[in-house]
Structures are given as structure tokens and as C-alpha cells.
Structure 1
Amino acid sequence: MYWTSVCLIGIATIGKGSDWEEFRDLVRGGIPITYRNKIWQEVSGALDMRQPGYYKELLSRKDPEACQCWGDIELDLHRTFPTNVLFGPGGHGIEKLKNILLAYSLHNPTVGYCQGMNLLAGTLLLTNNAEEEAFWLLTSMLGRHLPEDYFTQQLLSPQADQRVLRELVQEIMPRLYAHFEEMHVDVTAVTFSWFLTLFTDCLPVETLLRVWDIFFVEGMIIVFKVALAILWMNEKEIMKCRNGAAVYCYMKQMTLSMHQPDKLIKVAFTTLKSYIQPEKIEAKRQRHQKSVRQELIQEQQLIKARTFVCASPPTDKKKTLQN
């Protein structure tokens, strides 16, 4: 009954007081599948962004082959949930996915297309068969809910977020962090894709959609909370791994069996509540983003200096000695 009322009156009427907290708590409990698309459309801002006719206009601009991103998009189309009937042989999802990715690359040519977007768009199509609505959800996700430079070529924000996560693991799970160090394991080798694809490449779909319910309401902080909850829940098993290869192998598989979203969300929002404070995480993100940008500038300056040296004409040593 509550969800019916929310859909009728709209999210904007809820406000930011106790009513919003009630709505947030109910979202954490899971949005019913019947209302999920409508709630996502409104709470994400996709409904406000939508421009009638714009999506069709984007697709009419040029042929796919003329798009600079087409080669990368084409490679990823058939890598997107290949075992799902929607994207498998005879499924109609591939054509819709192609349209959405092409349209976004034209809508935001600065970003174009980046690997991982196919999984985001594919997940949206799993919950919403209308490709234009899925396009606007993707646009709101990349434009409002993730940092604007998340999918740029340098991947600055994702790199910074991995440093934040590593720092949080050291603070919250020091024994696990020490184990990673002892086994010479770089945890970001596994968790980088969690952030870049918003867990689409690792969580079962029923758990993934529950995480996305909260993501659209609470934003980027949910990614850190879920990542830490996954590590917290698997800490004992990871600690049993006696070498780096075993750690990587276990971590690559551990999320695939997480079919209890309620348990994951309880750990993220109750067990770890006192450890994960949004303002502290944001401060860490800003600090690490600054560091990553400075390192990139230094690297570019070093490359420029090396290029200059290589391009300089050779010195005629014989002539110099004669002078």
C-alpha cells in the first residue's frame, strides 16, 4: 500500500524529514519489482532530465560505423550477460543495448564510451524493457550519481576511490589488511571492477538490484558500504588462504554466491554503521583525488621532458672538441 501511495503522489512530495527517513528505510528493505522502474526513474532524476524526441534524434544523427566509439561498443555487446535470454542468441536486448550506448556516446562525446557502461546499460534493460527509459536512467547515473570524471580516459576518480577503500580496510579490518600485505595481494585488482561496474560483474542479479535500489536514493556512499560489507562477511575465509593466488581465486568467486541481499545490507548499514561515516569518506575521496591528479600531472611532465630529450638533435662531439 505504501509503495502504491509513493508512486501516486511522487517522491518529490516526501520531503527531507522523518517521511524521507521512512522512505529510505523501506528502500533498504527492497523496492517491489512492480514499482522498481517507476521509483528509479523519479528518484534518480531521470524523469526530470527526459527531453521528448531527443533520444530518437541522437540515433538519427549518423550510422553506427561512423561513431568513433562503435568499435569498442561492438566488442562489448556480446560480452554483456551472454547467458541471459535477453542478450543471448535470438534475444532482442542486443539491439536495444547498442542503441543506448551509441546514443549516450553522442549525448556525451567528451566521455563517449568506456568499458563497463555496457554492463550498467544491460542491467537497466533487465529491469526496464523500454530502451529510451533505460537511456535516461543511464544518463542520470553517469551524470548525477557518479563523479563526472568516473569514465574519462584516465579513470581518476575510480583510482582515488580504490585508495580510499584500501585505507578504510586498513582502519576497519586491520587483520585482513595485514593478511593482504603478507600475501602480496593488491585488493584493488578485484575491487576496481566492483566500483566501475557498480557490482554488475560480481553479484547475483537479485542482490544487485537491491543494491541499486539504495544507490539511486543514497548515492555513491553505498558502493563503499557494500564493498566493505562483502569483505567483512568473507574475512574469515580470506584469512584461511595461504598464498596470494588462493586469495585472488577466492575473492573472484566469493560474491557469486551472495544470494541473501538482506544479510549484505544489514552488515553494510547496521554492523558497519559506526565505521562508515559519509563526511569522512568524502574527505578521504577529495584528498586522494587531489593526489591522483598531481601524480598524473607529474607523469605527463616527465613524459614531455623525455620526449623533448629524444627529439633534440644529437651533439656533434668532434666539432665541439675542435672548437
Structure 2
Amino acid sequence: MDFELVKPTLPQVSLGRSSQESSHVGRDADAVYLDSPSIMQGDAASMHSSAPRSPMLPDAISSGTPPVESPTSIDAHRQREVRWMALLPMVPPSQARRNKKVKRLLLDGVPSSVRYLVWCHLSDSKARAIPGVYAQLGKRQRVPAFSDIEKDAKTYFPDQPQLHPFDGPLVSLLQAYLNMVPDIQYSSGLTSIAGHLLLLSPEEDAFWIFASLMDAHLRPYFSANTIQLEVDAALLSKAIEANDPIVCKKLYVTFSISPSAIAKSWFVSICTSGVSCFLILHRFSTLFVGTLPVDYLHRVWDVFLYEGVTLLFRVGLALIQCVRHLLLQATSEEAAMEYLVHPPLACLPSTADAFLNQVLMIKLKDDDVRKQRIKMEAQVKRQTQSRTNGSSGMQTASISLPKTF
């Protein structure tokens, strides 16, 4: 079956570097584990020593250099496109995140021309889509955050004027979503995520991918209840301690950072002072928009939609690995915050796939993270309920669809 290379017609974000989306990562994300039974135990030097070479990795990738095959090769791009277009109809979206062939193709690369179709498939957004609902939601009364959304659209996407108007796709998408899920607290992070989806997808498709992404992974981060942030902050801080106790001491002892205190004051009030794992967790909630170059960001999202939140822990640890020398030289919380939130390009691997490879090589047991998240969520939820006399849990089921549907 012949497939013709389709050149994307949607607006693209200008990149600081050329995309390396076509290079081969060629490894299983679950292949590298700690020998110890918990993420609380780890190799103390793993964050600053060179990662061991995996036998599953081509030499070019394990060494961080580009592969022999040119990533801009039309033939290579075409072959990946053909493989994706052949596989998508064969694997039901509901089973895509359990399919090893899908995973292998994700690690091999996602051509930009089919990326939004792949994201639709991985998020199973078509199953959630109800014809006519998006248009009906757009007709509802403006949400209180309407002016903030319009302002943030101009701030986050200054070079994408099509996203700026008060009746433009970005404002319309978030207006519809916040009307549908009124328990969500608006944050500029919602604008940054939705805007990137709109740069790759038609408006209504972007809405349903966004809704699926929120329901599956991110909604607790934007809820008024901060249980999920407390849990993930604790897990991330322990992972940092296990992987690099020296950096951990620098952040938490030298700077006297209290993660819980900073989380409650920083995230709720959107204050920009203080640095800890909660600064990285804020990037969790926005999927590292603004921290990674766009081509790096898209490669992370490719795999995140398959792996889930555990990949975000790996990305956070990989970023610490990249700027470790700067963190140890930092003389203030503000300087450390800047390195974590805006790592210099020179500190990142030279290609998006080399960075993804570094992320996947982080020593972390994904299954342990998942299990401990569940245990800690239940524990914190019980404590919160006892303090608030049986208040609701971390995430309500509040959904408001048009009555006609």
C-alpha cells in the first residue's frame, strides 16, 4: 500500500533546534530498574555518573550522538509514516497503551504529519467525543477566567496570533472545558497545554484530546484539593534523594526548603518564589511546557501518552541530571529555580531523542511509583478527611454537559 508524505498545513512553532523525531531510541522504557525493591533506594551516584550503556541501544544513541541515518531523510520519514498509518487501524484505541508494537513505534519516532492522529489514538479521545457538545458548550456564559485566558494566550503564544482573539480557538477550547468541568481551578498551565494541542490538531479534536488528557492524568493537579500534589511531591523528593543525595542536600538542607509548605503556598497562590520538587511538579501539571524546547516537548508527550505520569518523574530527574553542576554552584533559591524551570540549552542533550533516551535510562521503578502513589493517596486522603470532618476526596466527579445531550 502506498502512502504519500503529507506536509502539515497547521501552524508550527519555531524551534531553536532541528527536530530529531526520526532517530531510533530503540529500548523498552521498563527495561532499566533499580535492583532494590523500592524507589526509596537507589544508586547515590546515578544522577551524576554516566549512565550504563544498554545492550538494546544503538551505539549512536547510547553515546548521545545522532544516528548514522539522517533524521531529515525523506525515506525514513516516509517509512515511519507508512508504519503508523498501517498500525493505527489495526490496534483499537482502548488497547493502544498496552500494545508493544505501538510502544516500539513511539520510541522509533512520530512524524509530525501524523502526530495528532497518534495522540488521538493514545488518548482514546474519539471515544469521549459526543457530537455537538463542543459547540453547545461554547454558547454558554463566559467563565470567570475568560479575560485571564485571553491574556495568557498572548503571553504564552506571542508568535501565534491565531490563538489570541477572544473568540479564537484557544479561548473557545478552555471556555468550553471550564464550563464542562466547573470544579477545575483555572491556571495558566491549562492555556499552555491547550495551545500546544491546537498547534497540531483541529479545534474540536484538540478539545477532546485535552479533556481525555485531563481526565486520565492531570485533573487532580488543577483541582482545589492539593492531595495529588502532596503525594507526588513526596515521591519525587524521595526519588531525588535516592538518585542524588548531594543535590538533595543542596536543595533541602542548604536552602532549607520545606516541600509541603512551599507546595501549599506556591501552587495555590501562583507565587514564583522558592525552589523545590514543587517547582518541578508545577512543570508536571503543565507537562514541561516552557521548560523543554518544542521538539523535545513533543517527544516527551509522545511517550507520556503511553506511559502516564511515571514518565514525568523520569523527566524531572533527567532535568536535574542535566543541570546538576549548575545547581551545586547556585548561591540562592532563585538561581536554582531558574536552572530547573529554564535549563540552558547547552545543558540538554543535542537532540530530542537523545534527551528521551536519557529520560528512559533514569534508574526508577515505575511499578513502585504507581503502587506507592496509590498507598500515599489513600493515606493523605484519610488524613485530609479527618481534618475536614469527612470532606470530599481529591477529585470530584462534577461534569456539566448540555441538557440536550
TM-score (norm: length of structure 2)? 0.64
How has the CA–CA distance of structure 1 residues 11 and 190 changed in structure 2, closer, same or farther, with 3 Å as cutoff? farther
Quick check: 1:263 aligned with 2:354? yes
CA contact (8 A) 2:252 2:276 kept: no
Unaligned runs of at least 5 residues, structure 1: 302-323
Output the CA distance in 2 between the equivalents of 1:287 and 1:261: 34
Alignment of 1:287-302 (within 5 A): 287-297=375-385, 300=388
Q: 1:263 aligns to what SS in structure 2?
A: helix
How has the CA–CA distance of structure 1 residues 5 and 166 changed in structure 2, closer, same or farther, with 3 Å as cutoff? same
User: What is the aligned partner in structure 1 of residue 264 from structure 2?
Assistant: none
Q: Counterpart of 2:310 in structure 1: which amino acid?
A: I
Which structure's relative contact order is higher, taking Cα pairs within 8 Å and 6+ residues apart? 2
Q: Counterpart of 1:45 in structure 2: which amino acid?
A: D
1:18-50 CA-partner distances (Å, limit 9, x unpaired): x93343133123311011011111121112222
CA contact (8 A) 2:296 2:352 kept: yes
CA contact (8 A) 2:229 2:281 kept: yes
Query: Sequence identity of aligned pairs in percent?
Result: 22
Q: 2:102 aligns to what SS in structure 1?
A: helix
CA contact (8 A) 1:121 1:134 kept: yes
Q: Counterpart of 1:163 in structure 2: which amino acid?
A: A
User: What is the aligned partner in structure 2 of residue 116 from structure 1?
Assistant: 189
Q: Counterpart of 1:108 in structure 2: which amino acid?
A: V
User: What is the aligned partner in structure 2 of residue 230 from structure 1?
Assistant: 319
Quick check: 1:78 aligned with 2:154? yes
CA contact (8 A) 1:106 1:112 kept: no
TM-score (norm: length of structure 1)? 0.79
CA contact (8 A) 1:158 1:196 kept: no
How far did 1:101 drift? 0.3
1:98-157 CA-partner distances (Å, limit 9, x unpaired): 1100111122223264441111101101222x111110110110112x154232112321
Output the CA distance in 1 between the equivalents of 2:375 and 2:165: 44
User: What is the aligned partner in structure 1 of residue 175 from structure 2?
Assistant: 102
Alignment of 1:160-309 (within 5 A): 160-184=231-255, 185=257, 186-254=275-343, 258=348, 260-270=351-361, 272=362, 275-297=363-385, 300=388
Of 107, 119, 124, the match for 1:40: 119
Output the CA distance in 2 between the equivalents of 1:147 and 1:118: 13
Q: Counterpart of 2:222 in structure 1: which amino acid?
A: F
Output the CA distance in 2 between the equivalents of 1:12 and 1:236: 47
How has the CA–CA distance of structure 1 residues 196 and 94 changed in structure 2, closer, same or farther, with 3 Å as cutoff? farther
Structure with max Cα Rg = 1
User: What is the aligned partner in structure 1 of residue 214 from structure 2?
Assistant: 142
1:137-178 CA-partner distances (Å, limit 9, x unpaired): 10110112x154232112321232111111100111112112
CA contact (8 A) 2:84 2:105 kept: no
CA contact (8 A) 1:206 1:261 kept: yes
Quick check: 1:159 aligned with 2:261? no
Q: Counterpart of 1:264 in structure 2: which amino acid?
A: F
Output the CA distance in 1 between the equivalents of 2:281 and 2:295: 22
Flag the structure with higher helix content. 1
Output the CA distance in 1 between the equivalents of 2:135 and 2:243: 48
Output the CA distance in 1 between the equivalents of 2:172 and 2:219: 22
User: What is the aligned partner in structure 2 of residue 133 from structure 1?
Assistant: 205
How far did 1:56 drift? 1.0
Q: 1:149 aligns to what SS in structure 2?
A: helix
How far did 1:220 drift? 1.4
How far did 1:294 drift? 4.3
Output the CA distance in 2 between the equivalents of 1:237 and 1:77: 32
Output the CA distance in 2 between the equivalents of 1:136 and 1:263: 31
RMSD: 2.8
CA contact (8 A) 2:314 2:364 kept: yes
How has the CA–CA distance of structure 1 residues 72 and 188 changed in structure 2, closer, same or farther, with 3 Å as cutoff? same
Output the CA distance in 1 between the equivalents of 2:283 and 2:105: 25
Unaligned runs of at least 5 residues, structure 2: 1-78, 258-274, 390-405
Q: 2:99 aligns to what SS in structure 1?
A: helix
CA contact (8 A) 2:184 2:222 kept: yes
